[in-house]
Amino acid sequence: MECPKCHFSNRNDTYYCAKCGTQLTSTGNQEQRRGKTEPPDSHTETFQTPVKELTTGSTFTGRYQIIEELGHGGMGTVYKVFDTDINEKIALKLLRPEIAQDRDTVERFSNELKLARKISHRNVCRMFDLGKAEGTTYITMEFVAGEDLKKFIRKTGQLGAGRAVSIAKQICEGLAEAHQLGVVHRDLKPQNIMVDEDGNARIMDFGIARSLRGKRITGAGVMIGTPEYMSPEQVEGKEVDERSDIYSLGVILFEMVTGHVPFEGDTAFTIGVKHKSERPRNPRELNAQLPEDLSRLILRCLEKDKGKRYQTAEELRTDLEKVEQGLPTTDRTIPKQKRLTSKEITVKFNVRKVLVPAFIVLVLAVAAALLWRYVPKKETVSTAIAKKSIAVLPFEDLSATKDQEPLAEGISETLINALSSIDNLHVSARTSSFSFKGKQQDIREIGQKLGVGILLEGSIQIAGNRLRIMVRLINTTDGFPIWSQDYSKTVDDVFSIQDDIAKSVINALKIKLLGEKEAHLVKSYTADREAYNLYLQGRYFWEKRGKENTLKAIAFFNKAIEKDPTYALAYAGIADSYLVLGDNMQLPPNESFPAGKAAALKALEIDDSLAEAHVSVAALLEYEHNRSRAEKEYKKAIELNPGYALAYHWNAMFLSNEGRHDVAIKEILQARELDPLSPRINANVGLILFYARRYGQAIEELRKSAGLFPEHAANYGNMGLAYALSGQYKKAISAFNLALEIEEDSTEWLLWAAYCYALSGHRVESLSRLKTIIENSRKIYVSPTMIARVYVGLGDKEQALIWLNKAFPENDGQLNYLKVDPTFDPLRSDPRFTALLRRIGLEK
């Protein structure tokens, strides 16, 4: 069989050319070769329908001059072409007719290409466009010189550890950039990685990647990928995230250092079953020269449970660097970076001037090391916390009807609140603890993520009037139980059971209680069990957020109050709900904030020790511009419950608005320590850094947050703010678009995008968006302050001030940010702006 590239004559049962490594895809020998030298890629290979063939020298669509065919596969044929419009060589892929004629498939490619185009990194091949011409659908992309990694492995048999680590590090860098934008490759394999002669690696075909948030594009149950490189969750057709790409990279690393994939078989099904059920061989069994730490790294990538793999590409890259440092210098491979300029820069320097300061620095470093060794050290915070730290996981509903979820969550939350009141006990906040709901994850990993030494988990079961609660404490260091208990009483005893559980936990942790806390840990705010159940249902919907769920929550809280008019927690729930509706601009502030304040004050009238109500009152007073009293309320809330993360969170925002940035950053970091897996708190760490004008730090924090919470729009919206104010307008627009992909109807991100367009000189685009938003403001509430910001970007200060003056009588919550928001800097010299700051209490 003749190789189409080098014309070398190969045996009929050969899958790759023995001379140049080109994949041989002759249809006549496809079945003959199956199962012999190597099974073909079984993911999408189709040979029934021929692809439109272009000859060298011909022109496609009057624009692309064909230079040569680069190869063909399951999607179609790829050509190297010269784009006469931009005078550059690019790659052109013609899709197979059977793919191009499937409208759903083409639409999916189109949607996913929009995501792929946002990836700009030296280790990722850029995707350009999807088009249709001459009866053919095509994709254009960057041309990358070199050969794919699969051919490279075939020619060399296996790569040295240094070369493999170098390529893997580059792949990690490319994946990290994509994952931060929420894009997963899903078909990572050696055929999709190009390596040039200098050792630089580029990831190809991000065009079939899907967004972590784009669930409309490809739902669960659809399997995309190549069997030899697919993760177990891909084999099952489940939802995938960046850890699936890490598994695929583990397979590639295995193949690079051994010359074989971990699992082989005659059919895709056989290979898939092995990915799900068989443990991979230790790579050292196939390559005895392989370093032990590199072998462990590969096997960790190949864990069946994605929670046990590396969680991010950055984390994997860090360990690859450690492995590389342990390799002999001669084994390390450093790819040659392409020069940015052809000019050489020569620097002359005096050796003595360099060596003398270097020697001084070395002496100081040694002295510091010795001093550090003998100076007594304080125990680190994380170590101290781990000794007496606990997280309460959401209890599981084991009832036959599965209708007790609000009660199960309510018991967990009640225990969190009770334990949070104990001095010297670090308790993980609800948001973080509940983030593991419905997930199968190793106890030790949960402990690491939450920073706690103990987990409390349990279940409830109701049959008739009988309530059964099973609980146990688990040590997160070794996963062994410390204490367990089974409670079986009537449903009317739910309050006393919760108190018993809390006291048992305290005894197990050997914490001594003082004063009144010895009598009752769990405070019963109502004796009416029906009112309690209604309140729990209200909290259940409140936690789901969104306007519709929040209004449902208010309805349940009101029903609870009808049953028990002295139910302080229910009033606090109403206050929180109206606060969220107003703060998120889901209701006009003049409608939501007064209703919230009235409910919060009623809650404090019934019970002045309720920290939640003090926080709500503080936030609502801030919106009324009564800042001195608001500050007292925040301090009171923290004093009453030092473990209440939201108190620190809202107080941080308050301090930030006043320009007290250092204290605000300290408070928001304290909130994050208490509630490390709260998407909102993590996003607002970046927002406060933005208001402190630390744009680089803000972007760094928001990238980390986006990696943890890819579906939280504020990560990308806040990132867009920092990019815009640091002059990176393209990145800012991309970030706002990502936020809008998650929250399609968000007026906030639409207005920010309009501001960014204005700032970058795209007035027509900005005015067009602004006009649409102002028209919409007749139907829904739109913040006048945010409209004013767009006019500032357009340079229209008069219109900006007109809209700001509209914001004041409407009690627009966005006015609170006016003192520190850098977007309003062009107005600061205007006395009318200063007068407005005085009216809202932000200027004396």
Find the largest Cα–Cα distance for the chain: 91
Stretch among 211-220, 292-301, 394-403, 560-569 having the lowest mean pLDDT: 211-220
- Would the pLDDT of 379 be above 60? no
| Shared-domain flag, residues 136 and 213 | no
> Which DSSP string do the residues of 448-515 spell out, in sequence order?
HHHT-SEEEEEEEEEETTEEEEEEEEEETTT--EEEEEEEEEEGGGHHHHHHHHHHHHHHHTT----G
Stretch among 201-210, 426-435, 681-690 having the lowest mean pLDDT: 201-210
Final residue of a domain: which of 499, 524, 549? 524
Name the range with the highest mean pLDDT among 98-102, 568-572, 586-590, 683-687: 683-687
User: Chain centroid to CA 151: how far?
Assistant: 34
- The more confident residue out of 815 and 521 is 815
- pLDDT score, position 270: 82
- pLDDT score, position 23: 58
- Would the pLDDT of 566 be above 50? yes
Cα torsion angle, 289, 292, 297, 302, sign: positive
Task: Name the catalytic one among 148, 187, 583, 821.
Answer: 187
The pLDDT > 70 percentage for the chain reads 80
Angle between helix 713-725 and helix 695-708 axes, rounded to 10 deg: 160
Number of structural domains in the chain: 3
pLDDT band at 2 (very low <50, low <70, confident <90, very high): low
Give the dihedral of Cα atoms 91, 92, 95, 97; nearest 10 deg: -150
Alpha-carbon distance 413 to 346, whole Å? Answer: 66
b vs e for 496-521, b when ≥16 Cβ sit within 10 Å of the residue's Cβ? ebbbbbbbbbbebbeeeeeeebeeeb
pLDDT digits (tens, 9 = 90+) for 805-832: 999 888 888 999 999 999 999 999 999 9
| Shared-domain flag, residues 133 and 158 | no
pLDDT band at 518 (very low <50, low <70, confident <90, very high): very low
- pLDDT score, position 624: 85
- Would the pLDDT of 639 be above 70? yes
Stretch among 491-505, 553-567, 791-805 having the lowest mean pLDDT: 491-505
| Shared-domain flag, residues 132 and 202 | no
Final residue of a domain: which of 331, 352, 371? 331
Question: Exposed, middle or buried, 704 (CB in 10 Å: 0-12/13-18/19+)?
Answer: middle
Q: What is the average pLDDT across 242-252?
A: 95
Strand residue runs (E) in 183-241: 183-184, 193-195, 201-203, 210-211
CATH number at residue 471: 3.40.50.10610
- Would the pLDDT of 552 be above 80? yes
pLDDT band at 377 (very low <50, low <70, confident <90, very high): very low
Stretch among 52-56, 306-310, 651-655 having the lowest mean pLDDT: 52-56
| Shared-domain flag, residues 497 and 465 | yes
- The more confident residue out of 123 and 522 is 123
Name the range with the highest mean pLDDT among 140-149, 459-468, 686-695: 686-695
- Would the pLDDT of 836 be above 80? yes
Residue 182 falls inside a structural domain:
yes
| Shared-domain flag, residues 136 and 158 | no
Q: What is the average pLDDT across 340-350?
A: 34
- pLDDT score, position 548: 87
Name the range with the highest mean pLDDT among 93-107, 266-280, 747-761: 747-761
- pLDDT score, position 755: 93
- Would the pLDDT of 666 be above 90? yes
| Shared-domain flag, residues 418 and 463 | yes
Known catalytic residue: 675?
Answer: no
Residue 757 falls inside a structural domain:
no
Residue 476 falls inside a structural domain:
yes
Q: What is the average pLDDT across 763-788?
A: 89
- Would the pLDDT of 109 be above 80? no
**Residue at token pair 């793919």:** 99
| Shared-domain flag, residues 169 and 102 | no
| Shared-domain flag, residues 175 and 261 | yes
pLDDT band at 675 (very low <50, low <70, confident <90, very high): confident
The pLDDT > 90 percentage for the chain reads 31
DSSP state letter for 40: P
- Would the pLDDT of 346 be above 80? no
- Would the pLDDT of 224 be above 60? no
By C-alpha distance, which of 58, 53, 61 is closest to 78? 53
Final residue of a domain: which of 524, 549, 577? 524
- pLDDT score, position 351: 40
Q: Are 124 and 254 in contact (CB under 8 A)?
A: no
Question: Can you give the residue range of the structural domain that contains 261?
Answer: 147-331
- Would the pLDDT of 268 be above 50? yes
CATH number at residue 263: 1.10.510.10
> Which DSSP string do the residues of 368-427 spell out, in sequence order?
HHHHHHHS--PPPHHHHHHHTEEEEPPPEE--TT---HHHHHHHHHHHHHHHHTSTT-EE
Residue 776 falls inside a structural domain:
no
Q: What is the average pLDDT across 773-797?
A: 91
pLDDT band at 28 (very low <50, low <70, confident <90, very high): very low
| Shared-domain flag, residues 160 and 291 | yes
Residue 260 falls inside a structural domain:
yes
CATH number at residue 77: 3.30.200.20
- The more confident residue out of 438 and 405 is 405
pLDDT band at 42 (very low <50, low <70, confident <90, very high): very low
Residue 123 falls inside a structural domain:
yes
- pLDDT score, position 562: 94
| Shared-domain flag, residues 192 and 288 | yes
| Shared-domain flag, residues 124 and 219 | no
- Say what the pTM is: 0.52
Residue 91 falls inside a structural domain:
yes
- pLDDT score, position 225: 56
pLDDT band at 788 (very low <50, low <70, confident <90, very high): very high
Alpha-carbon distance 88 to 79, whole Å? Answer: 14
pLDDT digits (tens, 9 = 90+) for 44-79: 333 333 445 678 778 888 888 888 888 776 677 888
| Shared-domain flag, residues 57 and 189 | no
- pLDDT score, position 311: 94
Stretch among 495-504, 658-667, 699-708, 798-807 having the lowest mean pLDDT: 495-504
Q: What is the average pLDDT across 210-231?
A: 53
> Which DSSP string do the residues of 320-373 spell out, in sequence order?
HHHHHHTS-GGG---PPPPPS-S--------HHHHHHHHHHHHHHHHHHHHHHH
- Would the pLDDT of 756 be above 70? yes
Angle between helix 713-725 and helix 729-742 axes, rounded to 10 deg: 160
- Would the pLDDT of 479 be above 50? yes
Residue 396 falls inside a structural domain:
yes
By C-alpha distance, which of 747, 721, 748 is closest to 733? 721
- The more confident residue out of 766 and 539 is 766
- pLDDT score, position 9: 61
Stretch among 157-161, 260-264, 369-373 having the lowest mean pLDDT: 369-373
- pLDDT score, position 54: 79
- Would the pLDDT of 445 be above 90? no
- pLDDT score, position 466: 82
Stretch among 36-50, 316-330, 383-397, 676-690 having the lowest mean pLDDT: 36-50
Question: Exposed, middle or buried, 102 (CB in 10 Å: 0-12/13-18/19+)?
Answer: middle
- pLDDT score, position 312: 93
- pLDDT score, position 325: 86
